[in-house]
């Protein structure tokens, strides 16, 4: 039995990605959006998860620079933000492929053949190994714990897109549809 | 209407009546189906009156714990403090996908239930915490909330009642443990999702330190129906000889079964008929071997045990398991139970927040030992080690994630002992004193 890394755990970062300067997220319309979100809570800190989502939706991952920016806009320390960031598996702490593929392999999907779906994705994306990004930068594939769609085994998430009832036979076409 | 299958004649669709009907998703569609009449009525009622109706209906929490909803609400007193309602939509228990369908097909049913719940506990603000992976339910819930604000159903003067009701959708970010109510509150506050020590209980000091009630999606979605049809109607659904489990319950069915999906039946429905008639039984040419009836955290049943069980809180306990979240996982005769129990343990090891050592170490070592046995490298002493670890993981931690990992291991070892033993090579069992499983070993709920 072989199991690979789960979400956010062992995805290997490409080299030198720390060198890129951070482009601020919370300016203009996005700053207004964050202010609207903050107005829903009695503390600024409660907007931390939404703010991290906004960063990831903008840049695809949450860099050190982004951590500093989030800390500054929410009056938190960077260390605190990093502590929270690292708790939640859906935030990427380093760049991943343009299409981040999460295949559920927890028991209910596992008994329906989810491991074969994982292997099909590793083969068709050219990733070869869980957590690695394909050489063209298109894909990163990981196994994920229960996606909460067990009756539609095997569910696969590609970024925010949720695909139900994926079989190994469907994988080639799904991969082709994601440039 | 069912989803993805059409309703079976023996189902009682209340919450699931409009599953698969996209027209029910919109505000206009929901109003045309009688939506928001209960909220309109509730906003004109005293909160205690609503609490009493819900108490009389017999509704109990559908997230797993089964606490009577009306009594939970009655802990919230008009004390002048800011109160909060949290709707737990962090559905993450393996085998469970009922809240997902409620939010996908009837988002306004949940908005309405949440708004009624908020008023019933003297709260002006409610948060719906949805797991981060549920991208489509999040989008649909946000759209429903926006529609409700735009039409004056929510906001400073909700439905013209003069009362403020705010509802906000909050997206999680991938953590099973945030379905635990105190971890959910920490997460909402912008913290790591570590469960809190109780007391203080949420009704005393919960979200942002204020009195808070946390209810599951299915629980809140049932409330508008109860207010519309009356407590007696809800109380009348269920088996006659069990006054403690009333109403309907959604069961999510998955794994090796002919027709996976969500089914809504009255409490106390016979599990054998449910599996074989409603869900179509085993896949062609296969036989059902085992069933986990209430999400992965409850004890495993053999097929024979499952077929002689009644599907309500007490019926499940009588069979040595729990109703839990209603997530039914079916295993057929092809499945290697050792491998699958090891896979479950791995899930808990991954999801442990790691603040309690019994859980952090226990889930990790349980996984390692089970994977070793599964790979044919175990020895008979491992069984005793596993049971000893399970004992140390049960009833000793801040939350029950640790217990939840121990439960399938203990029940799996007890009921599928032969499969575990068959994994041991002759070399590994030779010279080892046989270990007997003590029959009185139990796992705390």
Structural domains in chain A, sorted by start: 17-85 (1.10.10.1590), 99-176 (3.40.30.10)
For residues B297 and B404, the answer to whether their CB atoms sit within 8 Å is yes
Considering the domain architecture, whether residues B224 and B82 belong to the same structural domain is answered as: yes
Q: Which tokens in the block code for residue B355?
A: 């603040």
Q: B104 in a domain, yes or no?
A: yes
pLDDT of residue A14: 56
- Taking only Cα atoms into account, the Rg of chain B, rounded to an integer number of angstroms, comes to 22
What number of residues does chain B have? 445
Last residue in a domain, options B332, B357, B378: B332
Q: B181 in a domain, yes or no?
A: yes
Nearest residue of B to residue A149 by CA position?
A: B97
Considering the domain architecture, whether residues B198 and B63 belong to the same structural domain is answered as: yes
Considering the domain architecture, whether residues B212 and B358 belong to the same structural domain is answered as: no
SS3 B290: strand
Chain A residues with CB inside 8 Å of B170's CB? Answer: 49-50
CA-CA-CA-CA torsion for B176, B181, B184, B188, nearest 10 degrees?
170
A172 and B CB contact within 8 Å: no
Considering the domain architecture, whether residues B319 and B345 belong to the same structural domain is answered as: no
**What is the DSSP code string of B243-288?**
TTS-SEEEEEEEES-SS-EEEEEETTEEHHHIIIIIS--SPTT--E
Q: B11 in a domain, yes or no?
A: no
Which helix (H) or strand (E) segment is B32 a member of? helix B27-32
Q: Judge if ipTM > 0.85.
A: yes
Considering the domain architecture, whether residues B161 and B256 belong to the same structural domain is answered as: no
Q: Output the domain CATH number for residue B362.
A: 1.20.1440.230
Q: B436 in a domain, yes or no?
A: no
Considering the domain architecture, whether residues B81 and B214 belong to the same structural domain is answered as: yes
Considering the domain architecture, whether residues B94 and B214 belong to the same structural domain is answered as: yes
Chain A residues with CB inside 8 Å of B348's CB? Answer: none
As a 3-state breakdown, chain A gives helix, strand, coil percent values, each rounded to 5, of 40, 10, 45
Considering the domain architecture, whether residues B120 and B217 belong to the same structural domain is answered as: yes
For residues A128 and A165, the answer to whether their CB atoms sit within 8 Å is no
Domain region containing B231: 22-235
Considering the domain architecture, whether residues B195 and B273 belong to the same structural domain is answered as: no
Q: Helix A64-73 crosses helix A78-85 at what angle (to 10 degrees)? A: 120
Considering the domain architecture, whether residues B93 and B213 belong to the same structural domain is answered as: yes
Interval B345-380: pLDDT, tens: 999 999 999 999 999 999 999 999 999 999 999 998
Cα–Cα distance for residue pair B324/B313, rounded to 1 Å: 8
Write down the pTM of the prediction: 0.94
Q: B14 in a domain, yes or no?
A: no
Domain count, chain B: 3
CA angle (A94, A95, A100) in 5-degree steps = 115
Which letter does DSSP use for residue B155 in this model? Answer: B
Interval A9-52: pLDDT, tens: 445 555 555 567 899 999 999 999 999 999 999 999 999 999 99
Q: B197 in a domain, yes or no?
A: yes
Interval A109-147: pLDDT, tens: 999 999 999 999 999 999 999 999 999 999 999 999 999
Interval B24-36: pLDDT, tens: 999 999 999 999 9
Q: Output the domain CATH number for residue B173.
A: 3.40.50.11540
For residues B61 and B72, the answer to whether their CB atoms sit within 8 Å is yes
Q: B185 in a domain, yes or no?
A: yes
Q: Do B174 and A112 touch (CB under 8 A)?
A: no
Q: Which tokens in the block code for residue B391?
A: 């004992």
Considering the domain architecture, whether residues B220 and B157 belong to the same structural domain is answered as: yes
SS3 B307: helix
Q: Which tokens in the block code for residue B408?
A: 């399938």
Last residue in a domain, options B203, B235, B267: B235
State the nearest Cα–Cα gap between A172 and chain B, in angstroms.
23
A150 and B CB contact within 8 Å: yes
The answer for residues whose C-beta is within 8 angstroms of residue A119's C-beta and 6 or more apart is: A168
Count how many pairs of residues, chain A against chain B, have C-beta atoms within 8 Å.
Answer: 150
């Amino acid at each position: 039995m072989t199991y690979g890394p789960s979400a956010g755990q062992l995805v290997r970062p490409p080299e030198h990605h720390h060198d890129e300067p951070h482009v601020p997220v919370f300016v203009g319309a996005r700053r207004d959006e964050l202010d609207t979100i903050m107005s829903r809570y009695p503390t600024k800190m409660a907007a931390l998860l939404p703010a991290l989502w906004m960063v990831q939706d903008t840049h695809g991952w949450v860099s050190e620079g982004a951590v500093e920016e989030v800390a500054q806009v929410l009056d938190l320390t960077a260390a605190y933000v990093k502590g929270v960031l690292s708790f939640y598996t859906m935030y990427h702490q380093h760049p991943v492929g343009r299409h981040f593929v999460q295949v559920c392999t927890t028991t209910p999907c596992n008994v329906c053949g989810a491991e074969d779906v994982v292997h099909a994705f590793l083969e068709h994306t050219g990733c070869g190994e869980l957590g690695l990004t394909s050489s063209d930068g298109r894909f990163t594939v990981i196994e994920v714990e229960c996606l909460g769609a067990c009756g539609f085994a095997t569910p696969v998430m590609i970024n925010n897109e949720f695909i139900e009832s994926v079989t190994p036979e469907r994988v080639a076409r799904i991969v082709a549809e994601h440039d | 209407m069912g989803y993805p299958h059409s309703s079976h004649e023996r189902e009682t669709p209340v919450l699931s009546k409009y599953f698969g009907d996209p027209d029910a998703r919109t505000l206009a569609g929901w109003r045309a189906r009688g939506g928001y009449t209960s909220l309109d009525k509730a906003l004109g009622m005293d909160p205690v009156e609503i609490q009493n109706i819900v108490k009389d209906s017999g509704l109990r929490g559908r997230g797993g714990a089964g606490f009577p909803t009306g009594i939970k609400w009655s802990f919230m007193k008009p004390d002048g403090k800011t109160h909060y309602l949290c709707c737990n939509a962090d559905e993450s228990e393996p085998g469970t996908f009922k809240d997902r369908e409620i939010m996908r097909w009837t988002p306004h049913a949940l908005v309405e239930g949440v708004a009624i719940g908020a008023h019933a506990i003297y709260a002006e603000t409610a948060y719906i915490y949805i797991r981060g992976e549920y991208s489509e339910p999040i989008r649909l819930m946000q759209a429903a909330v926006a529609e409700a604000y735009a039409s004056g159903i929510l906001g400073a003067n909700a439905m013209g009642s003069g009362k403020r009701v705010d509802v906000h959708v909050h997206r999680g970010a991938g953590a099973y443990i945030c379905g635990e109510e105190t971890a959910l509150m920490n997460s909402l506050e912008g913290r790591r999702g570590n469960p809190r020590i109780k007391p203080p209980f949420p009704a005393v000091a919960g979200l942002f330190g204020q009195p808070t009630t946390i209810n599951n999606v299915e629980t809140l979605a049932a409330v508008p129906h109860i207010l519309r049809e009356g407590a007696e109607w809800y109380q009348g659904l269920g088996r006659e000889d069990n006054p403690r489990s009333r109403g309907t319950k959604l069961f999510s069915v998955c794994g090796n079964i002919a027709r996976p999906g969500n089914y809504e039946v009255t409490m106390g429905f016979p599990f054998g008929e449910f599996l074989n008639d409603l869900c179509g039984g085993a896949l062609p040419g296969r036989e059902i071997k085992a069933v986990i009836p209430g999400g992965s955290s409850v004890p495993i049943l053999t097929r024979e045990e499952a077929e002689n069980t009644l599907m309500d809180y007490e019926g499940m306990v009588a069979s040595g398991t729990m109703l839990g979240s209603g997530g039914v996982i079916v295993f057929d005769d092809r499945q290697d139970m050792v491998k699958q129990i090891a896979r479950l343990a791995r899930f808990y090891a991954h999801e442990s927040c790691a603040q309690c050592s019994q859980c952090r170490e226990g889930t990790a070592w349980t996984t390692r030992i089970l994977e070793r046995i599964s790979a044919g490298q175990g020895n008979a002493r491992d069984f005793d080690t596993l049971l000893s670890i399970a004992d140390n993981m049960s009833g000793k931690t801040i939350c029950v994630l640790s217990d939840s990992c121990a439960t399938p291991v203990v029940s799996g070892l007890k009921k599928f002992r032969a499969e575990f033993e068959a994994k041991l090579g002759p070399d590994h069992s030779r010279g080892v004193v046989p270990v007997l499983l003590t029959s009185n070993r139990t796992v705390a709920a």
